[in-house]
Structure 1
Amino acid sequence: MHIEWSRMTTTAPAPTTAPVTRPGLVVAVLAFAGIASSITQTMVTPLIARFPVIFDTPASNTAWIVTATLLAAAVAVPISGRLGDLFGKRRMMLLLALPLIIGGIVCAIAPSVEIMIVGRALQGIGSGMVPLGIALLRDVVPKEKLSSAIATVSATLGVGGAIGMPLSAAVVEFADWRVLFWAGSGVTVLAALAIWWLVPVLPAGASGQRFDGLGAVGLAVGLIALILAVSKGSEWGWASWPTLGLFGLAVVVFALWGLWETRTKDPLVDLRTTARPRVLLTNIASIFVGFGMYASMLVMPQLLQLPSSTGYGLGQSILAAGLWMAPAGLMMLLLSPVGGRITDARGPKFTLALGTVILAAGYGVALVGLGSTWGLLITSLVINSGVAFAYGAMPAIIMGAVPRSETAAANGFNTLMRSLGTTIGAAIIGVVLAQMTIPLGGIPVPSEAGFRTALLIGAGVTLVAALVAAFIPKAKPTPESEPASKPEQETEPTDAPIDGAGAPRTLVGAGEPA
């Protein structure tokens, strides 16, 4: 089953093939859009504990506010990536801004938890803006600046969280919580206008191909089943029929989906490309990196906010905890150009391995500095330094290993792998912290031993990511370095952007040195 979106292709503005004259401005716009999207996704964090009171409903109901966002994002990111390849990445970024804006308005006026869930699901759909923006860089940035540009836009995931957490905490503490969502929608409107005015219209890499509707449905069903089972397993019981049934459904659906994707002419995800060792191992490493990054995000805010009477809690308010965590996100922005230069000099594989080792070292620092705010600040700085290198390197590896017609789809799939890592990490770390508790005022809270166990798991997982990264094969030489007659060589499609000399522009900075 295929769905052909012919009307979209006929009504689109005529694409331009002229060189992009202000790539730095385009990078700034895409980075701003990434920050806007990231803020929208993270600003709800300080409200999670208050939602049961706000909507006068059990916490089990308000938990769906987070789950709905996660499910919508997991489904939308790979599908929007493929649509970006088919109809243009700029166009899809503008379309994804709509659910972010509308979802924020729905949340701002939500009279009930059900409406709030709908609003957050809409905002989850819009989370594909960042991977689309990263993929678009391949079309607009000169090869000598591509690695740094990829790292900069990738860093916006951390920067948005760094800005969003303290700002949202301040709003929650001093103003009406609904202001958060009005402000988030306003920032997204500004980002959409900037994209509309300043990002050029370029040819779609897979123009003329068809959208794989059946593949999209199969992927959506499989992902929803898998993520529901992982995220709700501890609540429903890992051996319960709903959990086991969802896991079983995911296995069956993914098996059928994989069979379909290998036989259809224009697949949603080209599994043959995904199975290439360079792409496959990068995606596997992404799962572990996502796990490792999110484990620290679950541990440190709780340590900062638990009462000092526990003996290990630091007694900070929500706002103070957000401010202590903010420098770590800004560190990602500062180090992203450094990661790009390392990628140019040594290749993205080296940068990814370096980032995962630094990330693991950050967990070692955490085990030493557990009892002080300054210790956790240093921990977060080290961990986010590793995340900055790793998050900038992974898209570079992916985009250097796939045809230009699959750039956005492959990058979206890689983003999905990271999201699965965070989901699995949240489930495992959540079980550890829920099982290792002490009583505090009659309420169980995670114990110091539980936090240390979670940190050790995070360190172990990131070391596994480093090991996987070490086995990623080097990139094949570019067409300039080998004769084109070699059968295994991948060349850029004929619709590749043209550089100033009139020759097809190849991707540099996303491959290993020859």
Structure 2
Amino acid sequence: MKALRGASRDRVTFTVLAVAAAAFAMLQSFVIPVLATLQADLHTTQSAATWILTGCLLSAAVLTPIVGRIGDLLGRKRVLVATLVVLAAGTLLAALASDIQVMIIARVVQGIGGGVLPLAFGIVRDELPPGKIAGAAGAIASLTAIGAALGVVLTGPIVDTVGFRWLFGLPVVVIALTAVAAALFVPESPPRSGGGGIGWVPASFLSAWLIALLLGVSFGPERGWLSAPIVGLFAAAVAGGIAWVVVESRATRPLVDLRLMRATIVWTTNLVALLVGVGLFATFGFLPQLVQTPSALGYGFGATVAQSGLLVLPSCVTQVAVGVLASRLDRRFSGKAVVLAGCLACTASMVVVAFAHDRLWPLYIASAVLGAGVGLSLSGLAGLIVSAVPPEQIGVASGMNANIRLIGGSIGAALVASIVASSAGPTGFPAEWGYTAGFAVLAATYLLAGVAALLIPVAAETPQVSG
């Protein structure tokens, strides 16, 4: 009976963590298909509306590793509950926003939700039996992609039925209930100092170069990659990154232990996460856009936001299926094999989208294959990271892995946006070629991720880092 109670507790804990991670991912993707609608309803410019997406992105990039580290130090449950409360407050503010300034502030506050993922991975490692850790972490990572995909699917029906404010109003209820469930049912993880507290100086340098990099990537397509402001931002990102490495290496209380990051299992997994991120965000952003393109242009299908969102639905279904099988696959095969299979499936799906998008049925098949590939790659990556690092470093290590994937997503979205936009100009090439080239680049990126996955050690060594 005691074992049964323990198993039930584990299931409840996993469910709470999965819902929390999926809810934040959904909040990120909700706004992608309706930026034009938000621009009109908030009476603002296109440039200002872009900050609805960029503000959350920047905030999450800065806060994710910091929140993960705070959870390592103070106890992951209490930090998870606090994070969900702040996320709910920011989401409620977004639902009530009457102008663009308030909406941007709300989205910046929502960025704290990025910390849910490293906290969830840490709790999984602390509370679940050893044989279930990798599979549970992988399933949660896969569910974040499902949440992002569902956000694209549900945006159209919600906006058409009850208006854009309910894109935030409905998640408030879910997040608030999840916070209550976390407070009641998730066990408290013991604080793990790992030899120090939060290194605020290294955290400041990390935040500075991340902000410079993501601003440059976000606004490069709009202002020109070689324009002085964008070049200046990238130069600042490089200089800031070098300074961060120097400061972090010398800090008595580093935020990120660089010796840990140099471990083969960690840097190879992070490299794959970067490349997978490049494809993931761009795919969910530009596949619906391709289908929404007026068919009068000779390609596209003139679909509505709601209709184009249905194209992502097969991806959700196959990701759920893979999530159910994640723990078995991890036990049957190595994490390396699971990640490699996922990357190759994603590559195949992008080849279909790039060269067979004159009819809808190949796109639905590609969406299903993509979902399976994303589920495999993300679940494998999460399991590898959680199993490979010391318990006191799980929060920051998984937070950095999520951050690297976020950076990759920003790069991918900006890259495909530039390729698609360039074909719309007076290049002499058909505008359709922009999508063909963009998705072909994503296929090549997923293939590179597969090559990088070959570098992952078969047996994930646990780096021994002294405090």
Q: TM range, normalised to the smaller chain? A: over 0.9
Q: Is the 8 A contact 2:265 2:461 kept in 1?
A: no
Q: Which residue of 1 aligns with 2:390?
A: 403
Structure 1 window deviating more from structure 2 (415-424 vs 225-234): it is 225-234
Distance in 1 separating the partners of 2:123 and 2:377: 19
Cα 1:491–1:217 change in 2 (3 A) is closer
Q: Which residue, 418, 425, 435 being the options, matches 2:412?
A: 425
Q: Which residue, 410, 433, 446 being the options, matches 1:462?
A: 446
Q: Is the 8 A contact 2:64 2:115 kept in 1?
A: yes
Cα 1:476–1:411 change in 2 (3 A) is closer
How far has the Cα of 1:208 moved from its partner? 6.5
Structure 2 matches for 1:351-390, cutoff 5 A? 351-390=338-377
Q: Is the 8 A contact 2:134 2:387 kept in 1?
A: no
Q: Which residue, 258, 283, 287 being the options, matches 1:300?
A: 287
Distance in 2 separating the partners of 1:359 and 1:318: 24
Q: Which residue, 276, 288, 291 being the options, matches 2:263?
A: 276
Cα 1:216–1:107 change in 2 (3 A) is same
Q: Which residue of 2 aligns with 1:125?
A: 112
How far has the Cα of 1:207 moved from its partner? 6.3
1:472 correspondence with 2:456: yes
1:62 correspondence with 2:49: yes
1:93 correspondence with 2:80: yes
Q: Which residue of 1 aligns with 2:437?
A: 453
How far has the Cα of 1:266 moved from its partner? 2.4
CA deviations 1:450-501 (Å, max 9, x no partner) are: 11101110111111111111012233678xxxxxxxxxx84999xxxxxxxx
Q: Which residue of 1 aligns with 2:139?
A: 152
Q: Which residue of 1 aligns with 2:198?
A: 211
Structure 2 matches for 1:23-42, cutoff 5 A? 23-42=10-29
1:255 correspondence with 2:239: no
Amino acid at match of 1:458: L
1:201 correspondence with 2:220: no
1:342 correspondence with 2:326: no
Amino acid at match of 1:66: L
Q: Which residue of 1 aligns with 2:153?
A: 166
Structure 1 window deviating more from structure 2 (355-364 vs 99-108): it is 99-108
Q: Is the 8 A contact 2:26 2:147 kept in 1?
A: yes
How far has the Cα of 1:209 moved from its partner? 2.4
Amino acid at match of 2:447: L
Amino acid at match of 2:374: V
Instruction: Find the residue that maps to 2:36 and give its secondary structure.
Output: coil
Instruction: Find the residue that maps to 1:22 and give its secondary structure.
Output: helix
Distance in 2 separating the partners of 1:186 and 1:37: 13
Amino acid at match of 1:286: A
Instruction: Find the residue that maps to 1:323 and give its secondary structure.
Output: helix
Q: Is the 8 A contact 2:335 2:458 kept in 1?
A: no
Q: Is the 8 A contact 1:295 1:454 kept in 2?
A: no
Q: Is the 8 A contact 1:37 1:130 kept in 2?
A: no
Q: Which residue of 2 aligns with 1:3?
A: none
Instruction: Find the residue that maps to 2:234 and give its secondary structure.
Output: helix
Amino acid at match of 1:49: A
1:49 correspondence with 2:36: yes
Distance in 1 separating the partners of 2:300 and 2:273: 31
Q: Which residue, 215, 219, 224 being the options, matches 1:232?
A: 219
Q: Which residue, 231, 252, 274 being the options, matches 1:265?
A: 252
Cα 1:383–1:225 change in 2 (3 A) is same
Distance in 1 separating the partners of 2:229 and 2:85: 34
Q: Which residue of 2 aligns with 1:504?
A: none
Amino acid at match of 1:227: L
Amino acid at match of 1:30: L
Q: Is the 8 A contact 1:287 1:417 kept in 2?
A: yes
Distance in 2 separating the partners of 1:128 and 1:371: 41
Cα 1:20–1:217 change in 2 (3 A) is farther
Distance in 1 separating the partners of 2:370 and 2:252: 42
Q: Is the 8 A contact 2:152 2:284 kept in 1?
A: no
1:415 correspondence with 2:416: no
Instruction: Give the TM-score of the pair, scaled to structure 2.
Output: 0.93
1:317 correspondence with 2:317: no
Instruction: Find the residue that maps to 1:50 and give its secondary structure.
Output: helix
Structure 1 window deviating more from structure 2 (185-194 vs 336-345): it is 336-345
Distance in 1 separating the partners of 2:133 and 2:380: 11
Instruction: Find the residue that maps to 1:48 and give its secondary structure.
Output: helix
The answer for unaligned runs of 5 or more in structure 1 is 1-17, 440-444, 479-488, 494-514
Q: Is the 8 A contact 1:305 1:316 kept in 2?
A: yes
Amino acid at match of 1:355: G
Amino acid at match of 2:251: T
Name the % identity.
Answer: 33
Q: Which structure's residues are more often helix, by fraction?
A: 2
Distance in 2 separating the partners of 1:394 and 1:229: 27
Q: Is the 8 A contact 2:94 2:102 kept in 1?
A: yes
How far has the Cα of 1:19 moved from its partner? 7.2
How far has the Cα of 1:268 moved from its partner? 0.4
Amino acid at match of 1:75: V
How far has the Cα of 1:134 moved from its partner? 2.3
Amino acid at match of 1:449: W
CA deviations 1:428-470 (Å, max 9, x no partner) are: 111000001279xxxxx99211111011101111111111110
